[in-house]
Chains A and B, each alone.
Chain A
Amino acid sequence: MADRYTLRLPALEVRQGRRRIYCFAVDGKKLHSFAAVSRIRRDDGEQLHGYQRPEVLSHIRGIRKYLESDGAMLPNAIVVAFNDRIEFVPSLMIPTDTVDYSVPGELVIEVDESLSEAEKPAWLVDGQQRSAAIRDADLAEFPVAVVGFKADSEEEQRSQFILVNSTKALPKGLIHELLPDTTGQLPDSYVRRRLPAQLMTRLNGSRRSPFYRIIASPTAPNGYIKDNSVLKMVEHSLFEGALYQYRNPVDGSGDVERMLTHLIGFWSVVREVFPEEWSKPPRNSRLTHGVGIQSLGFVMDTLTEDVPAEGVKTVELKEALESLKPHVAWTSGTWKFSDGEERRWNNLQNTPNDVRQLTSHLLKVLRKRSRRR
């Protein structure tokens, strides 16, 4: 019968203590013919069965797009738990001077595609989304590395499942620094962050930038401005403010050079007007603190919304920022807001409320000034 056949896969049997694991490769399109997904559910007696969540379709779509892209690879192995119906046959010709913990041979899997999911000889422990993506991808075949073990029970599979799925995510700072220098398909959330991360890296790396080497990142450990403050400011301006003018809405790309010129133009005036406040770390200066960077980012958006990059740095901009001087308390004194509220200089925090309060305070000062003129 066509739906019953034997898969013979070259494999290594590796000894780990009293356990044996099997490393082999198989066409991902064939994986589901012998490996089932153990979907979590409870039976009529409230007994727990299985352990997997449903497929996350958006995640699968992301992997699938990657697999269909040029030069895709999946180097990490999919993990399966076998029942007793598989067999490992060691090679007859094993040289005697080889290591003793690893034995080459063949894994023999009897495939019967008419079996129900519950009767299949293997369960997927790790790689559900990846194998679903291979199954759905528009590809003829896609061999993947698999590691299998013989499980004593479903309880043991469950603990393996939790172990492989509880890894810690990469630190954000590292991702932001890596992001601009990557190629190929990335997950959507990273694609979105890529342009802002690129701008931040360039701000931190160019000598003409007032942010030169002062944004804290894995490779700029002496930086004192939080990377997230700058990222938020850039993202904001890119999506809602002055930098949007350099964006291409059809493909999401942007004119990085002019964006950089725009940012450097504005923030170098900020540094000229507040040189001392700019040189201090956030605990001594609210200007380099998240609340200052973001609020001034909004000021930038208001003052330079329709201004082309080359025209940002002007005498007028400098005068406008100078006019803020009597109304700011970046490093000492108190903020006096128009609603009568007074806050000590370092009482402002990096919260949406404080950012909003400081922004509207600064914008009010600027509006009053432009009305007087």
Chain B
Amino acid sequence: MKFYFPDSQDLVSPTYDFINDEYLPTRVRQRDDVYAHEVAKPSPYDGILVSKAIVDGSMKGSGKYAAPQRARLYRLGVRKFFRLPESMSSLGDCGAFNYVDEEHPPYTVDEVLDFYEECDFDAGVSIDHVIFGYMPGAGESDVDDAWVKRRHISLELAEKFYAAVQERDSAVEPVGAAQGWSPASYADSVARLQNIGYRRIALGGMVPLKTHEILACLEEISPLLLPDTQLHLLGITRVDSMERFADHGVTSFDSTSAFRQAFMDDRNNYHTADGAYTAVRVPQVDGNPALKRAILSGAVSQRDAIAAERNCLAALRDYDKDNVDLDEVMAALAVYETLVLGSTPTKKSYLAHYRRTLEARPWKSCPCALCKEHGIEIAIFRGTERNKRRGFHNLTVLEAKMRTLAT
């Protein structure tokens, strides 16, 4: 089973100063920074997925790349730009979620193939249009006309894409995108894509589906698969079900969820082999909008806030070195949390979760290179450098789980 990590310009700066919380003033974004595959050992994924919408922008804005970075990606190609080792592969797609609200995908087949070829991708997914809904028993006449249309658009563009790849004698391996709203419609899409000539097929729009629904689709699809056809699940990580997915012909998937949970999840921020912990929130006084407003309005004294923030960081670091006991850290955290939450009773306290994290000290026993280097800093919810490192750590946990499945 191969895991692709979707690129969203997620890097960390190796020269970041954790004590003073600052970058080198001369730091150059992306070039001086490092990707997860450059710092996390072993490498936490088998390849990267890069969306045209992230690079070139789409309906929702200008993309995540600055113009000069985009120019360099096109100039150097994806392998050199991402500094990918030989063993890793690259997959391009359109980023269909970025134009999900449009009636029609905003790209032409030629534009997309230009993108794949100029960036020198190993493989590229045909243009698809996401169907947002699941009605297992419904036929074409039972569902929204737009769903039917979207499936046809996806198939039609897949056919044109395959033809363009043949015509240009492109080095990019074509991957057909299958859309559907039910096991039968997905299976029909896959069958048609195989007829066009595709031997690698990506299943799209399954992110909101429950695991048993994905399995129902795969059960309908797998009897139709030709012996050399491989399936990719777009945006799905259900580690517990991966073995069963694999039984039905899935050979690869991609997902950001393990990474993003490090800073997006309410509680499960720091993953371990058998569970997850809540990261300890110590927001920066000059980075937390609510706190900034409270200071500006005079409700909170800036000096008090700075003192509370520093006390938390010092106590956490001392605790990691066994110089203070847990209750002292908890007291410091409680003081700061009260300041940050203010008097609004609607916001809840995380203190109980912090206690659990700090008691277990999961980073002490983690074998990943980042936890070894940064210790407790990785468990602190604060700023992009700590949060993304924790995300990278989560990816190594996921990779280890995938490895045990494979054997």
**Which residues of chain A from 202 to 241 have any CB-CB distance to chain B below 8 Å in the complex?**
236, 238-241
**A314: Cβ under 8 A from any B Cβ:** no
**B31: Cβ under 8 A from any A Cβ:** yes
Q: Which residue of A lies closest to B295 (CB)?
A: A54
Is there contact, CB below 8 Å, between A249 and B302? no
**Given A189-B25, A191-B26, A41 and B20 contact (CB-CB distance below 8 Å):** no
| A191: B residues at CB distance < 8 A | 25-26
**Which residues of chain B from 1 to 57 have any CB-CB distance to chain A below 8 Å in the complex?**
15, 20, 22, 24-29, 31-32
**Given A250-B15, A302-B75, A57 and B286 contact (CB-CB distance below 8 Å):** yes
| A301: B residues at CB distance < 8 A | 75
**A69: Cβ under 8 A from any B Cβ:** no
A188 to B285, CA, bound (A): 20
Is there contact, CB below 8 Å, between B22 and A239? no
**A352: Cβ under 8 A from any B Cβ:** yes
Is there contact, CB below 8 Å, between B20 and A61? yes
Is there contact, CB below 8 Å, between A352 and B67? yes
Q: Chain A, 329-373, contact with B by CB distance < 8 Å: what is the 0/1 string?
A: 000000000000000000000001000100100000000000000
Write the nearest CB–CB distance from A351 to chain B, whole angstroms.
13
A191 to B28, CA, bound (A): 13
**Given A54-B296, A249-B15, A298 and B71 contact (CB-CB distance below 8 Å):** yes
A305 to B15, CA, bound (A): 25
| A58: B residues at CB distance < 8 A | 286
Cross-chain contact of B22 among A61, A249, A253, A356 (Cβ < 8 A): A61
Is there contact, CB below 8 Å, between B298 and A252? no
| B292: A residues at CB distance < 8 A | 54
**B69: Cβ under 8 A from any A Cβ:** yes
| A244: B residues at CB distance < 8 A | 28, 31
Cross-chain contact of A236 among B29, B68, B295 (Cβ < 8 A): B68
**Given A240-B72, A302-B75, A356 and B26 contact (CB-CB distance below 8 Å):** no
**B297: Cβ under 8 A from any A Cβ:** yes
**A251: Cβ under 8 A from any B Cβ:** yes
Is there contact, CB below 8 Å, between A39 and B28? no
Is there contact, CB below 8 Å, between A240 and B71? yes
A305 to B80, CA, bound (A): 12
Is there contact, CB below 8 Å, between B298 and A249? no
**A247: Cβ under 8 A from any B Cβ:** yes
Is there contact, CB below 8 Å, between B24 and A252? yes
Main secondary structure of the interface of A (DSSP, over half): helix
Q: Which residue of A lies closest to B13 (CB)?
A: A249
**A55: Cβ under 8 A from any B Cβ:** yes
Is there contact, CB below 8 Å, between B32 and A249? yes
Cross-chain contact of B298 among A39, A57, A253 (Cβ < 8 A): A39
Q: Which residue of B lies closest to A187 (CB)?
A: B25
Is there contact, CB below 8 Å, between A239 and B297? no
| B296: A residues at CB distance < 8 A | 54
**Which residues of chain A from 43 to 72 have any CB-CB distance to chain B below 8 Å in the complex?**
54-58, 61
| A56: B residues at CB distance < 8 A | 286
Q: Chain B, 62-81, contact with A by CB distance < 8 Å: what is the 0/1 string?
A: 00000111011001100000
**A195: Cβ under 8 A from any B Cβ:** yes
Write the nearest CB–CB distance from B201 to chain A, whole angstroms.
33
Is there contact, CB below 8 Å, between B68 and A239? yes
Is there contact, CB below 8 Å, between A356 and B67? yes
A356 to B70, CA, bound (A): 12
A sample of 7 more A-B contacts (CB under 8 A), given A191-B25, A298-B71, is A54-B295, A61-B20, A236-B68, A239-B29, A240-B68, A244-B31, A305-B76
The 10 closest A-B pairs by CB, nearest first: A252-B26, A41-B298, A188-B25, A249-B32, A191-B25, A240-B68, A57-B286, A239-B28, A54-B302, A192-B25
21 contacts between A and B (CB under 8 A): A41-B298, A54-B296, A54-B302, A55-B302, A57-B285, A189-B25, A191-B25, A192-B26, A238-B28, A239-B31, A239-B68, A240-B69, A241-B72, A244-B31, A249-B27, A249-B32, A251-B26, A252-B25, A253-B26, A301-B75, A305-B75
